[in-house]
Amino acid sequence: MLAHIHKLIDKSKGSISISDFMNAALYHEEYGYYMNKLPLGKDGDFITAPEISQLFGEVIAIWLMHTWKKLGKPSQFSLVELGPGKGTLIHDVIRVTKGYSSFFGSMSIHLVEISPILRKIQKEKLKRLDINWHEDIDNLPKQPTIFLANEFFDALPIDQFVYCNGKWYENRVIKQDDNSLSLSFQCITRKKDDVIPVPLSCHASSATLGSSKIDCKQVDETTKNWIPVSATCMTEGFNGPIVEVCPAGIEILKRLEKKIVNNGGAALIIDYGYVYPLYKSTLQSVKQHKYANFLENVGNSDITALVNFQALKDSLKYVNCKILTQREFLYLFGIKERTQILMENANDEQRDRIFSEFLRLTENMGTLFKAMLIQHL
């Protein structure tokens, strides 16, 4: 994997964007992390909410049935999960809803998964069930559709931009003399007062940002990323804030919006992220449930960034959108009541475990994780 990254850097005149780096490290068909590793579970690198407790999937199932009712109880609709992991969430949804014949009978299930390893696990877990697998959302049925995306958007490639002394710089990945990887700030020239098209050619030779040297090199002009300056509230007095941009996430959400508007439907996006800008790097890598340097163990560790939910919401034009914390969402759709029911029928050890899982979902993850609810009725 590292040799492939080096080739990309050499072909791009000495540096590549963070998004190009992440795309290769995570999704390269032969070397990419998600393409040849089992990322989830105790033997993997991280764990997601459906694996923590059945409570999560059961609450999602309640939201699905509530949303189906609000959509007018369509006789046929698609339930589409993006990045379904081990298939645990959809398995819990099926377990809960199969007793409601009118809902269950109207639902066709579609899983969008590009990882061969995860798809194999999903097919084993969901065997003998009528499931459709896809590599993208292009060929879904043209009927009302409800999308689920739990910890999907955080793994999409991002770019980083740094503001210093009235100018923008891009964080790019370079190769060191010892063949290790590091980040380099590279100049971006402002063209307009309201937006900054990036990357652009840099005409300066070098600059400084604190104690870090900024190498100002030619930057690939075909990239189509934009930073809305007005949204960042930057002024000449700011030095060092970082703005992260995820064009892939915005593009995917717009495609979901188009399908929802054309066919009717809704979406639930749950991920760790923020509504108000953090102005710092949120890139992180996890290896065997411990944080690591994302420029090391390339292809063998997960790389993610916090999701900018406000940017996602701002990209939507034709649907209703609401952002809650995960805690608010879970409480709204009955996690407290469901927890009490489970505990009433459990022994002491089981009650302790159920309550611990409840706290992990609502408190430990409760505010860092957000839930974006999208509807077009």
Domain edge (last residue) among 190, 214, 245 = 245
Indicate whether 139 and 267 sit together in one domain: yes
Residue of 256, 241, 329 whose CA lies nearest to 55? 329
**DSSP per-residue codes, 284-298:** EEEETTEEE-TTSST
- Tokens 């639902």 correspond to 107
How many CB atoms within 10 Å of residue 201? 12
Indicate whether 236 and 295 sit together in one domain: no
Tell me whether residue 222 is in a domain: yes
Tokens standing for residue 152: 């999907």
Quote the pLDDT of residue 300. Answer: 84
Indicate whether 311 and 180 sit together in one domain: no
Quote the pLDDT of residue 91. Answer: 96
Indicate whether 272 and 366 sit together in one domain: yes
Indicate whether 189 and 211 sit together in one domain: yes
Quote the pLDDT of residue 121. Answer: 92
Indicate if the alpha-carbon torsion angle 326, 328, 334, 340 is positive or negative: positive
Indicate whether 56 and 195 sit together in one domain: no
Residue 234: give the domain boundaries.
159-245
What are the start-end ranges of the E strands in the chain?
16-17, 77-82, 107-112, 131-134, 145-150, 159-164, 167-175, 181-188, 195-198, 206-209, 212-215, 225-228, 239-245, 265-274, 284-287, 290-292, 302-304, 307-308, 320-325, 369-376
Tell me whether residue 24 is in a domain: no
Query: Cα 22–23–28 angle (5° rounding)?
Result: 120
Indicate whether 127 and 276 sit together in one domain: yes
Query: Cα 125–130–136 angle (5° rounding)?
Result: 85
Tell me whether residue 254 is in a domain: yes
Domain edge (last residue) among 202, 221, 245 = 245
Q: How far is CA 332 from the centre of its chain?
A: 23
Domain edge (last residue) among 230, 245, 260 = 245
Quote the pLDDT of residue 1. Answer: 81
What gap in Å lies between CA 159 and CA 172, rounded to an integer? 8
Asked if residue 46 lies in contact with residue 151, where contact means CB atoms within 8 angstroms, the answer is no
Q: How far is CA 176 from the centre of its chain?
A: 30
Indicate whether 57 and 199 sit together in one domain: no
Tell me whether residue 216 is in a domain: yes
Number of domains present in the structure of the chain:
2
Asked if residue 25 lies in contact with residue 293, where contact means CB atoms within 8 angstroms, the answer is no
pLDDT tens across the length of the chain (377 residues): 888 889 898 898 899 999 999 999 988 888 888 887 665 555 555 578 999 999 999 999 999 999 999 999 999 999 999 999 999 999 999 999 999 999 999 999 999 999 888 999 999 999 989 999 999 999 999 999 999 999 999 999 999 998 877 778 889 999 988 888 888 877 664 443 333 333 322 222 222 222 233 333 333 333 334 454 444 555 556 678 888 999 999 999 999 999 999 999 999 999 999 999 888 999 998 776 677 788 888 888 889 999 999 999 999 999 999 999 999 999 999 999 999 999 998 999 999 999 999 999 999 999 999 999 999 86
Indicate whether 99 and 199 sit together in one domain: no
Assign residue 134 a region (left: φ > 0; alpha: ψ between -120 and 50; beta: otherwise): beta
Q: Which helix (H) or strand (E) holds 351?
A: helix 348-359
Quote the pLDDT of residue 184. Answer: 83
Check whether the bond before 199 is cis (ω within 30° of 0).
Answer: yes
Indicate whether 340 and 254 sit together in one domain: yes
Tell me whether residue 19 is in a domain: no
What gap in Å lies between CA 219 and CA 199, rounded to an integer? 6
Tokens standing for residue 252: 């995917």
Tell me whether residue 15 is in a domain: no
Tell me whether residue 63 is in a domain: yes
Tell me whether residue 16 is in a domain: no
Indicate whether 168 and 121 sit together in one domain: no
Indicate whether 105 and 119 sit together in one domain: yes
Quote the pLDDT of residue 251. Answer: 94
User: What is the pTM (predicted TM-score) of this model?
Assistant: 0.85
How many CB atoms within 10 Å of residue 13? 11
